[in-house]
Amino acid sequence: VTTLCPRDVGLEVVGIAGLPHDTVQDGGAHVEPILRQRFGDAVADIVLECSDAAPFDGEQKPPWPIRKQAYVDHLRTSATDSALRVTAADKLHNARATLGDLGESEPRGTWMPHNACHHQSLWYYQAVSDVITKRLPKSRAGAELANLVTELSLLTNGGL
């Protein structure tokens, strides 16, 4: 497996990290040692990079807009290519699901209840897409995400 850069790992490890990518964000910081034990440090490091919050038991996550802006800033400035690849796959999956939901909603294009309003969600998809497109210009997942963000934008309110 080819190493992408000194801070990155092989694509097989990236693929493995994609499976538990939300476990720290959704389960809390106490999940990290379990990931390290079961999957190794490289996978755990990627999962941590893909987490917009890692609260300890009883802690509240910061508000959605603050978490998402910090995550976009992290992707823009310090995320490894490995974390960008996992994020691209995650957001591509989420955008596909959102587009499917919008196509089935009545009236067509109505967003389902979510942690953020549709304007915030569109902003987030667009911001992540922009970073991935810039940092991984040859990424097929990044290109497809950009296309889906355009479709989402056009389907809801005629665009951003």
Nearest to 19 by CA among 36, 39, 1, 33: 39
Kindly report the number of other CB atoms within 10 A of residue 74's CB atom: 17
pLDDT attached to residue 125? 95
* 23 has a pLDDT exceeding 80: no
Instruction: Give the pTM.
Output: 0.83
What confidence category does residue 159 fall into, taking pLDDT thresholds of 50, 70 and 90? very low
pLDDT at site 133: 97
| 107 preceded by a cis bond (ω within 30 of 0) | yes
**pLDDT confidence of residue 1:** 33
Per-residue pLDDT of 52-99, as tens digits, reads: 887 777 788 889 999 999 999 999 999 999 999 999 999 999 999 888
Q: Taking a C-beta distance cutoff of 8 angstroms, is the pair 145, 92 a contact?
A: yes
Q: How far apart are CA 156 and CA 150, in angstroms?
A: 10
